[in-house]
Structure 1
């Protein structure tokens, strides 16, 4: 039995590998040979101290930051709870502070709490 998967579009098993993609000659669909878990493993989000950040972690702002679109700055020591990781971006996270919602912050200004 072959390790080559069937086409995800038409379901035919006539697919073949070509460099880094699989190709279906029946419908012409091409898709990458690597799986989604391999791509996610490549992106590791780290705080200013090198600690690995994961979705749901709590972080602390390490310096005063001006927030675009708001007159309220983020002060040093502000806690950001329940962060979300930005897909395919190891330098940014999303989260909320007590006063400002919908923040996108650079990880170089954060440390894990």
Structure 2
């Protein structure tokens, strides 16, 4: 029986080969089907809405107004988030603090590097 590795993003067990890639049926994530199994080489780095790579300690700017769950204060366009932290094993989210709201987890598609 052919065994395929679990999804590196959601850890789902239902994966299948598609040409030169492996695909997760649960979350739709695709990754190269390299036989070496090197996780560091396949690790996806977080990128902002313009495609710039983000790193710990960077400053980012919110590109559109966002509603914040658990708060009545919205996060306005142009708000600066300084000293971001990358979420381990998740290239779509970062952690940070604004001047008014602490403990934010934001999607990188709503941010641009400052």
TM range (shorter): 0.5 to 0.7
Offset at residue 83 of structure 1 (A): 0.2
User: 1:43-97 CA deviation, whole Å, 9 max, x = no partner?
Assistant: 2100000000000000000000000000000000000000000000010000000
- Structure 2 length as normaliser, TM-score? 0.65
CA positional deviation for 1:39:
2.9
Structure with bigger gyration radius: 1
Displacement, 1:42? 1.2
Give distance in 2, aligned partners of 1:79 and 1:96. 9
Structure 2 counterpart of 1:67:
68
- Tell me, which stretches of 5 or more residues in structure 1 are unaligned? 1-19, 21-32
Q: Distance in 2 between matches of 1:53 and 1:83?
A: 9
Number of equivalences? 80
Compared CA separation, residues 95 and 51, structure 1 to 2 (3 A): same
Give RMSD over aligned pairs. 1.9
Q: TM-score, normalised by structure 1?
A: 0.65
Q: Which runs of 5+ in 2 are unaligned?
A: 6-35
